[in-house]
Structure 1
């Protein structure tokens, strides 16, 4: 069977699958599940085009990694065939542990289990199936491989993950501010003292990349309506788990029921749990909410209805933390209007904070290689005064409460 297939991607055009191992991993059911995991969670309720999946993103990352390997080899950086494959595998599988709608499960029915940890469990399982051929990729993914620049290509401030998702999410949302020049950035990459650097002539592309990241976070990833929808989804799953624990029978798929019935933390996330998780995707959650919007429980039915029919909570952003009395006013109104308890009302009235730091100056810096051979952090090398400002964390506070009628 010919495994060197070509895929047609709306962002980059034709993408070639580099070798048979990558093809076999793409064909595996664990990876195919990513076709059913939305890349941007609930953002499609704000940007109707944002229906692209983690599958699209992972394939795009492999394409960019191929470009990066070719550029670095051309510049005399030694990368063996095994290391090349390791980079492709690590970037292909870096998001394989994402649950339904990407982040909602991490904060609701799985207790503190990050998608990175689940990705690692999947990679270790696949490594057994593929006779140890993922060992080097796992080392790179964990940041343990001795050649530092390879780990930076997978997880750094200018990695192939960000290089793809900014461009891809910009395309599918139609938000032009995020459209970075990935190919230009990759062409400017080099390695000095085992660290990834960007040649001086690529400095303006890096500036654009950092500014695009900031704009995409405020305009897309932390958009207040998308934020309200994601918080609703987290609370739907929390309420479903709470009801199930009290013996309230709920209609849901087998994989979803497993997570509702069992307390799943890092310690309990064993091989059996991984098998069930591998069957869980966006469709389980959507299907469950379609049933739950007609449930007898006031909270679960209303929360589910809000998402299914996009009748979301009102959300207001503030520069200062939300005062308790502002929450209390809305909670009391709800309690009296619908004769519900305080704990039930708090599912609809809550506050929180969001923060955005476009550039982490102290960790995983982006270094510029000057023609003189001097290496300098982008903040110091740039003549843009606002890059220093972009390395500061900006925090905003939000309050959510229902519109006039549930």
Structure 2
């Protein structure tokens, strides 16, 4: 028996609050879970700064990765098994890709990536293909196996059906994080009937399709996703924390490039500041490391870095106001910039416009920059129809991008009337703080 077919002497299970149990029978999966690169995901939160808004949102990328694996395992072992459209030889490939799809996420994920111009998908592939414990386990299956796993995650693998299980508009990744994030944040929006969706899934050559009898469960999933983005993922308080986090990293990078003498040398950040991040350095970065430096930097002599770190660590977040990028609003922003500088408050760090945007459902539109595989329904007569052609609910939101803009600022600094009273009064009037 080859390594790829080897089973554990007895099934291992992880107790899970969303799926009740995560089942592991394959030795390869068990060995991957035990690698240092996978275990690192325990130290990276799934929802970044959201724990500062919803105090229960402390779950990790590891929780989520196990959940995605479990959903894919159920699909291919319970739903697809024995169907002629499904190639059973790709079972282990799907399971490994599901388990490892988030392997390259850094601390506080997207905010961290933006500041240092990084791409977690690049690091996911680097971990799978590089000199790592994960690569060693995968290579035992077959020397070409790590490359195949990386291709599935990169959406370049030859089987679109395999890719669609992990990356599409209704995939195992989204089905897990919507439910898991709803559970840990304590909201009701992200819940939908996953059991029904799994029961009506059917494999086709290019992607998964859904029996028309399950259309309402799919509609519910799409609306759950829409609500989660606006009520949880784009929550303005969470975005305030992200703004401060981003500004801390920008300030630390600026100080380093300016030759500032840190009281405590930020050794873990050197490769990031220099724009030359080796995989070994990247893997040493997790949220415990970031938060350690933030606490240390609270004592730094630079007043901006010190203040921003104090705000993040002790949750003294910025207030926000509605903002639209119209001519009037942009003129107001220019005036606020001028007044902030006059008041001795650096607008580069303390006056920030943040925008969030989401497209809840779309289908391929020729000429647009990103191809989106549509969700297809399988009708009783065997015909396949794109979802929005059959669902009035989905049709109403298809292709409609919603964008929200907020202006973030430290209201507490504007309440300090000891100096520059008149200037701060003007700022407060422009921000409508005294209404």
**1:120/1:37 Cα in 2 relative to 1: closer, same or farther (>3 Å)?**
same
- In the aligned structure 2, how far is the partner of 1:337 from the partner of 1:195? 58
Tell me, yes or no, if structure 1 residue 232 matches structure 2 residue 250: no
- In the aligned structure 2, how far is the partner of 1:309 from the partner of 1:333? 27
**1:55/1:38 Cα in 2 relative to 1: closer, same or farther (>3 Å)?**
same
Structure 1 stretches lacking a partner, 5+ long: none
Partner deviation per Cα, 1:217-273 (whole Å, 9 max, x = no partner): 00000111101111211111011011011121332553234323x223xxxx5xxx1
Correspondence for 2:172: 160
Equivalent runs, 1:132-211 vs 2, <5 Å: 132=143, 133-211=145-223
Query: Is the 2:161–2:205 Cα contact (8 Å) retained in structure 1?
Result: no
Equivalent runs, 1:53-92 vs 2, <5 Å: 53-70=60-77, 71-81=79-89, 83-92=90-99
Tell me, yes or no, if structure 1 residue 244 matches structure 2 residue 256: yes
**1:2/1:283 Cα in 2 relative to 1: closer, same or farther (>3 Å)?**
farther
- In the aligned structure 2, how far is the partner of 1:193 from the partner of 1:118? 30
Partner deviation per Cα, 1:94-114 (whole Å, 9 max, x = no partner): 111111012121111x22x21
Query: Is the 1:3–1:20 Cα contact (8 Å) retained in structure 2?
Result: no
- In the aligned structure 1, how far is the partner of 2:222 from the partner of 2:324? 23
Correspondence for 2:121: 116
- In the aligned structure 1, how far is the partner of 2:229 from the partner of 2:347? 30
- In the aligned structure 2, how far is the partner of 1:244 from the partner of 1:3? 53
Aligned counterpart for 1:371 among listed residues 368, 380, 384: 380
SS of residue paired to 1:17: strand
| Deviation of the 1:74 alpha carbon | 4.7
Equivalent runs, 1:7-86 vs 2, <5 Å: 7-70=14-77, 71-81=79-89, 83-86=90-93
Correspondence for 2:356: 354
| Deviation of the 1:3 alpha carbon | 7.6
Correspondence for 1:401: 409
**1:290/1:232 Cα in 2 relative to 1: closer, same or farther (>3 Å)?**
same
Correspondence for 1:382: 391
Which structure has the higher relative contact order (CA within 8 Å, separation 6+)?
1
> In terms of Rg, which structure is larger?
2
Correspondence for 2:108: 101
Query: Is the 2:85–2:205 Cα contact (8 Å) retained in structure 1?
Result: no
Aligned counterpart for 1:5 among listed residues 12, 16, 19: 12
Correspondence for 1:218: 230
Correspondence for 1:258: 271
Query: Is the 2:160–2:205 Cα contact (8 Å) retained in structure 1?
Result: no
Q: Aligned pair count?
A: 390
CA RMSD of aligned residues (A): 2.0
